[in-house]
Structure 1
Amino acid sequence: MATIPFLTAGRLIISIAALSNSISPYIADFNETHVYNPKWPPHARFHNGQTMSMGLLLGLTTLYYTWRPLVSALYGTGLYATKSAARDSTFNAAIIGSLYWITGISAILYPGTKWIDPEFVNSKYDGKLLGMPGQLPVFFMHVVFVWAGYALEARQLGALKAE
């Protein structure tokens, strides 16, 4: 039976993305453009709070699936997990870790949405990356980061030999 390494590059990458998933919505939204925007009606604030909380919980759930113990048997010298169980757990972590960012990418498709409110265009909140609205490459980067972590972890697991 193969021993699954605890600390791997794939798990670390997914964990960094998960922490960003939990923290970034609060960094991006707890300011004049969202939470403290006097033009926002109460129900818009409700949905903003819902979205921030969703980011936090998706990040925490991703961390759970990334690091949860996968015990399939106890053999003399330690605990062992199957490679397929470890891969499945990491795959679930990658799916969960992608959801917040994919919904951020898709949000622009709804009628009347814009990347930034008109009063904040050309302000400190109007960040552009690679000529695009700042959120778009950041959202894509997180999705790529999570799945790169999964690919590294799956590769690591595939390289393990049975003991």
Structure 2
Amino acid sequence: MNISTGKVLLTLSSVWSACGSYRFDWNETHIHNPEWPPHAKFHNAQTMSTGAVLGAAATYLLWGRRGAWTKERLQVTTAAASVYWVTQLSATLYPGTALFDRARPGAAEGAVPPRWRGPQTVVAGTALVVNALAYALERRRLGS
């Protein structure tokens, strides 16, 4: 088993993808929010499951498969580790979406919640930068 910086970075991103939404969504602001209709909770649950499956798939591709670590396997692994984060960023482009249900405390009366500026975009952007760095490191290690 060959442990490299790129594989470690992809592993961290994949584990965060698999577990992060449970850390931040399994609470009264999301899945246990009495103000959310059941269908909204369904889609939140779907998103959490998607992150878990993609993170598990990327981790399996990194460490669970036998055989050579190839450029093609690196590409599929990096894609699996990145899809959750790309979809999280793209969600801000849909009509009526916002990163928060209400404007933050201390905001002006009638303030609208931010559509794309918030911790989610920082986390998703950081994960994608980490994945790009991991990909570049592994490509160089495998030989361009």
User: How high is the TM-score relative to the length of structure 2?
Assistant: 0.86
- Superimposed CA distance per residue, residues 56-99 of structure 1 (whole angstroms, 9 cap, x where no aligned partner): 000000111122222xxxxxxxxxx3xxx611111101011110
Which structure's relative contact order is higher, taking Cα pairs within 8 Å and 6+ residues apart?
1
Distance in 1, matches of 2:13 and 2:28, equals: 25
User: How high is the TM-score relative to the length of structure 1?
Assistant: 0.77
Say yes or no: does 1:156 pair with 2:144: no
Counterpart for residue 14 of structure 1: 10
Give 1:6 deviation, angstroms.
1.0
Counterpart for residue 141 of structure 1: 126
Give 1:13 deviation, angstroms.
0.5
Say yes or no: does 1:92 pair with 2:76: yes
Distance in 1, matches of 2:105 and 2:23, equals: 19
- Superimposed CA distance per residue, residues 19-75 of structure 1 (whole angstroms, 9 cap, x where no aligned partner): 0000001011011210111110001111111110100000000111122222xxxxx
State how 1:6-155 maps to structure 2 within 5 Å. Answer: 6-67=2-63, 68-70=65-67, 81=68, 86-118=70-102, 121-122=104-105, 132-155=117-140
SS at match of 2:70: helix
Give 1:122 deviation, angstroms.
2.7
Give 1:121 deviation, angstroms.
2.0
Return the letter of the residue paired with 2:97. T
Distance in 2, matches of 1:69 and 1:154, equals: 19
Structure 1 alignment gaps of length 5 or more: 71-80, 124-131
Structure 1 or 2: more strand by fraction: 1
The structure whose Rg is larger is 1
Structure 2 alignment gaps of length 5 or more: 107-116
RMSD of equivalent CA atoms: 1.7
Distance in 1, matches of 2:73 and 2:60, equals: 9
Distance in 2, matches of 1:30 and 1:121, equals: 20
The number of residues matched between the two structures is: 133
Percent identity, please. 38
Return the letter of the residue paired with 1:137. V
Distance in 1, matches of 2:9 and 2:33, equals: 34
